[in-house]
Structure 1
Amino acid sequence: MSSTPHDWITTPLTAALIRGALDLERTAHGLLPHRLPARARAQCADPQLHMAEAQPSGVRVVFRTRATAVELDTLPTKRVYAGAPPRPDGVYELLVDRLPAGRAHVAGGNTLTIDMATGGAEHRPGPVGTVRFTGLPDRDKDVEIWLPHNETTELVALRTDAPVEAVPDRGRRVWLHHGSSISHGSDAAGPTTTWPALAASLGGVELINLGFGGSALLDPFTARALRDTPADLISVKIGINLVNTDLMRLRAFGPAVHGFLDTVREGHPDTPLLVVSPILCPVHEDTPGPTAPDLGALAEGRLRFRAAGDPAERAAGKLTLRVVREGLARIVGQRAAEDPRLHHLDGLALYGEPDFAELPLPDGLHPDAAAHRRIGERFAALAFAPGGAFADPAAAPAAAG
């Protein structure tokens, strides 16, 4: 509990105060935001997916208040990779009227220790912690607390020193995005600077981020979640996880992409839909998966990945990033004749060879904070600008009469 001298008001945490989640699970401690609905979670037993979708990338607690002090009790679950350097605590970021106003961490919490060599995992329970923001302006304002994009976070209690109410609809368009760990946030500096969060801010839209680390696998239940979620704009970033899990061959890839897009279109027949191919990842450009941890680097205390496939296996239909890019461009081109609001974006336009030379992928797979910023800025410039797939019709100049 708080030790600061405020007259605290405790406000129940409900769906009215939480954005970016598709489901809220009641737990023994409070609320656990999920980025997949319960029915989807029940259709897959993969622990990687369950961990990823429960990490609240893009999820934020949003309210309107005159409060000058805010406390949020949470129970985080923090990942530790055996033999690798300790991961920093997750970041909570405060926005006031959409402007950055603070960053904080929650100490303690549960610990999930993962052994990359064996695939084993051990869960140890820990205590609830508190994130605290003070010195907020004494006026009515919109407050957003963005939860750590890479830590499972149970919401326990919200306290303020003035009453709280839900923020009314501001009429902003909703962007629904699905992708891999890069979209999830990988090594971004914080939850508001994952590349989708940054692009959403630059584009003036509300983000629902269905980026799932290791789990952008054309799963039908994910397609149904996209289909059933109200949105004004939709994008799907496809490819890297199909390669690094070695999930399917070229024969299955094309029909799976078509089926995924067909399902999304069942719920959003006229919504702008952008298919984004993979950014550059040299280890898998021409070498198939699976991806494996570099045990030599791990022995030195560094986390790196390598491609464990054989380039010769492309002849048998194994996927590489180059093959995936070519396939996605072909599929979108084929469908676009009957679907004029379907668009394609080559991931190399977001991060290509010149970017890798300047901002290499530290672990061989994931962009760092600077690269996330570059990708987000480029996506916004390409997608939200006039003439882009997500250009705002309301911002277009009126036609001359």
Structure 2
Amino acid sequence: MTHTSEHDWISTPITADILRGALDLEHTAHGVLPHRLPARARAQCDDAQLAMAEAQPAGVRLAFRTRATAVELDTLPTKRVYTGAPPRPDGVYDLLVDGRLTDQASVTGGNTLTLDMASGAATRRSGPPGTLRFTGLPDGVKDVEIWLPHNETTELVALRTDAPIEPTPSRGREVWLHHGSSISHGSDAASPTTTWPALAATLGGVELINLGLGGSALLDPFTARALRDTPADLISLKIGINLVNTDLMRLRAFTPAVHGFLDTIREGHPTTPLLVISPILCPIHEDTPGPSVPDPGALSTGELRFRAAGDPAERANGKLTLGVIRDELARIVKQRRAEEPGLHYLDGRELYGQADFGELPLPDQLHPDATTHRRIGERFADLAFGTGGAFTDRGTGHPT
């Protein structure tokens, strides 16, 4: 690939030692593709939504120490287009120098995935890689992070700098491993460092591994095993909304599935602080089961909005609503805490509740906007990392 020649560029192979937040690195025809689930987990499910979500690098960042004042990164993004909806903005890359956001940029070109929400059809068109360029970095040795777009699959093709780089040394921070739905993944956050988990990690002074999987927080056993096998000092699980979205299971299956998910994680993290978080407020599904479906009236006007397609009367047959899930999660955690003191529960409405919905409604009825991500991140940091929070009793987790 061509690039400007005013610098004496040094090319550095993109390897796992300069990448954080990914559990696997796949070698492709173009370069490497970060994955947030290991290959064995990916091989156990061929769901297209999961494949797209886990390959979108939420929380994944290049991290290195250097004297370089200029950095170039060639990437091959895969951009999503929703039929009938307004174009989505290009994914944002955040540049951090010594922990401070100093620049942002996007990459044009790349592949395009066109999704028809009404029919479920998907078509893919190939495109060329693009180049990201950051210049004017301060002189001297510094720690540089390039956070990849949280919502755009990103193959990493080449990394160039005008001075040598080395992996960033450990800062001794605890590792926080988080799993959740598209809201944890980042949904409509403005950039990768302003998803609510990224904001909370900054405020809590921890290293984030974000296993928020849009549409795919479904208590899958392979996800539990990935969490079990990932070194971490603090773990949180946000459970519920996707189970209603997909109408995947009834209450009879939900309760043992939650227990099994927790049991699997505990095999690898027997004493690690583990916080179970129930869903934030989502009025369309508080008392109405799923599935969630696109609102055809909104689609006809070029908007993407969701509605609940279930019937409240179906709760009697075990269909799940957010209210049912919150009650059951609270009961499960209370039951287990008798023998598992490191287990904690947080009602998601403490992060975003009725008053918040009145002030900052969910634009598509499911996902919070960028302002709300900031609010949720700040509240989580206070409730989990603050005085008396689930994560304040440190030092009992997996060594990092």
Category of TM-score, reference length = shorter chain: over 0.9
* Aligned residue number for residue 172 of structure 2: 171
Separation (CA, whole Å) in 1 of partners of 2:124 and 2:382: 42
Separation (CA, whole Å) in 2 of partners of 1:311 and 1:42: 36
Separation (CA, whole Å) in 2 of partners of 1:327 and 1:4: 61
Aligned-pair CA distance for 1:391: 1.4
* Aligned residue number for residue 367 of structure 2: 366
* Aligned residue number for residue 158 of structure 1: 159
Deviations 1:188-212 (A, max 9, x none): 0000000000000000000000000
* 1:3 and 2:13 aligned: no
Alignment-mate amino acid for residue 149 of structure 1 = H
* Aligned residue number for residue 22 of structure 2: 21
* 1:305 and 2:306 aligned: yes
* Aligned residue number for residue 399 of structure 1: none
* 1:291 and 2:292 aligned: yes
* Aligned residue number for residue 62 of structure 1: 63
* 1:95 and 2:92 aligned: no
Alignment-mate amino acid for residue 174 of structure 2 = R
Deviations 1:30-89 (A, max 9, x none): 000000000000000100000000000000000000100001000000000000000000
Alignment-mate amino acid for residue 223 of structure 2 = T
Separation (CA, whole Å) in 2 of partners of 1:242 and 1:195: 21
* 1:206 and 2:217 aligned: no
Separation (CA, whole Å) in 1 of partners of 2:12 and 2:44: 34
* Aligned residue number for residue 77 of structure 1: 78
Deviations 1:83-140 (A, max 9, x none): 0000000000000000011000000100000001100000000000011111100110
Aligned-pair CA distance for 1:393: 4.2
Alignment-mate amino acid for residue 339 of structure 2 = E
Aligned-pair CA distance for 1:215: 0.2
Separation (CA, whole Å) in 1 of partners of 2:271 and 2:313: 41
Aligned-pair CA distance for 1:266: 0.4
Deviations 1:237-287 (A, max 9, x none): 000000010000011110000000000000000000000000000000000
Secondary structure of the structure 1 residue equivalent to 2:187: coil
* Aligned residue number for residue 397 of structure 1: none
Aligned partners of 1:386 and 1:392 also within 8 Å: no
Alignment-mate amino acid for residue 199 of structure 1 = A
* Aligned residue number for residue 240 of structure 1: 241
Deviations 1:374-399 (A, max 9, x none): 000000000001221111648xxxxx
- The 3 A distance-change label for structure 1 pair 164 and 392 is farther
Aligned-pair CA distance for 1:2: 1.9
Separation (CA, whole Å) in 2 of partners of 1:114 and 1:252: 31
* Aligned residue number for residue 145 of structure 2: 144
Aligned partners of 1:85 and 1:301 also within 8 Å: yes
Secondary structure of the structure 1 residue equivalent to 2:149: coil
Separation (CA, whole Å) in 1 of partners of 2:84 and 2:72: 34
Separation (CA, whole Å) in 1 of partners of 2:357 and 2:388: 28
Aligned partners of 1:58 and 1:208 also within 8 Å: yes
TM-score between the two structures when normalised by the length of structure 1: 0.98
Secondary structure of the structure 2 residue equivalent to 1:225: helix
Separation (CA, whole Å) in 2 of partners of 1:360 and 1:107: 31
* Aligned residue number for residue 398 of structure 2: none
* Aligned residue number for residue 390 of structure 2: 389
- The 3 A distance-change label for structure 1 pair 61 and 392 is farther
* Aligned residue number for residue 119 of structure 1: 120
Separation (CA, whole Å) in 1 of partners of 2:394 and 2:184: 26
* Aligned residue number for residue 258 of structure 1: 259
Separation (CA, whole Å) in 2 of partners of 1:307 and 1:135: 50
Secondary structure of the structure 2 residue equivalent to 1:58: coil
* 1:280 and 2:290 aligned: no
Secondary structure of the structure 1 residue equivalent to 2:201: helix
Separation (CA, whole Å) in 2 of partners of 1:62 and 1:247: 38
Aligned-pair CA distance for 1:3: 2.0
Secondary structure of the structure 2 residue equivalent to 1:25: strand
Aligned partners of 1:35 and 1:53 also within 8 Å: yes
* Aligned residue number for residue 48 of structure 1: 49
Alignment-mate amino acid for residue 157 of structure 1 = A
Separation (CA, whole Å) in 2 of partners of 1:40 and 1:126: 28
Aligned-pair CA distance for 1:4: 5.0
Separation (CA, whole Å) in 2 of partners of 1:223 and 1:392: 23
* Aligned residue number for residue 12 of structure 1: 13
Give the aligned length. 394
Deviations 1:315-370 (A, max 9, x none): 11000000000000000000001000000000000000000000000001000000
Separation (CA, whole Å) in 1 of partners of 2:46 and 2:8: 45
Gaps in structure 1 of 5+ consecutive residues? 395-401
Aligned partners of 1:360 and 1:367 also within 8 Å: yes
Separation (CA, whole Å) in 2 of partners of 1:198 and 1:235: 15
Separation (CA, whole Å) in 2 of partners of 1:349 and 1:392: 21
User: Percent identity at matched positions?
Assistant: 79
* Aligned residue number for residue 229 of structure 2: 228
Separation (CA, whole Å) in 2 of partners of 1:3 and 1:303: 40
Secondary structure of the structure 2 residue equivalent to 1:339: coil
Aligned partners of 1:384 and 1:392 also within 8 Å: no
Separation (CA, whole Å) in 2 of partners of 1:17 and 1:276: 31
Secondary structure of the structure 2 residue equivalent to 1:16: helix
Separation (CA, whole Å) in 2 of partners of 1:23 and 1:45: 17
Secondary structure of the structure 1 residue equivalent to 2:248: coil
Alignment-mate amino acid for residue 154 of structure 1 = E
Alignment-mate amino acid for residue 198 of structure 1 = L
* Aligned residue number for residue 181 of structure 1: 182
Separation (CA, whole Å) in 2 of partners of 1:299 and 1:133: 40
Deviations 1:160-198 (A, max 9, x none): 011100111111000000000000000000000000000
* Aligned residue number for residue 330 of structure 1: 331
